[in-house]
Amino acid sequence: MIVRLTKSFHFEAAHDLPTFPDRHKCRRLHGHSYRFDVVVEGPVQPEKGYLIDYADIANAASPIVSQLDHYYLNDIPGLANPTSEILAKWLWDRLKPSLPLLASIVVYETCTSACEYRGPQPAGN
């Protein structure tokens, strides 16, 4: 049986989006209560009855949350233009080495706006 597991994480951070037009509200310094979901997918191990321990996901994500929480995202290497899209890929790049079953990252910038990143796509897609 193939399953998808999701574990959610939260952090508070400020940013501005330097590529937006000068008068756009997102160009100005502002903050968000971010949430991101780490989604893993794979076969349930019959002898164990589960895919992966949720604690393993938390152990992989916790240092990253600490790096982001209550910081100015633009100052973090790789996040000079911290759009939801770039943040989702940034998270993927840091989690994938320790979570080989990673299937997607979903970043919620607000409670009504989200971006999902599913990793690099094969050429031609």
Which of 109, 111, 115, 116 is labelled catalytic? 109
Tell me, yes or no, if 109 is annotated catalytic.
Answer: yes
Tell me, yes or no, if 111 is annotated catalytic.
Answer: no
Which of 10, 12, 70, 116 is labelled catalytic? 70
Alpha helix segments (H runs only) across 35-106: 54-68, 84-95
Give catalytic residue positions. 26, 70, 109
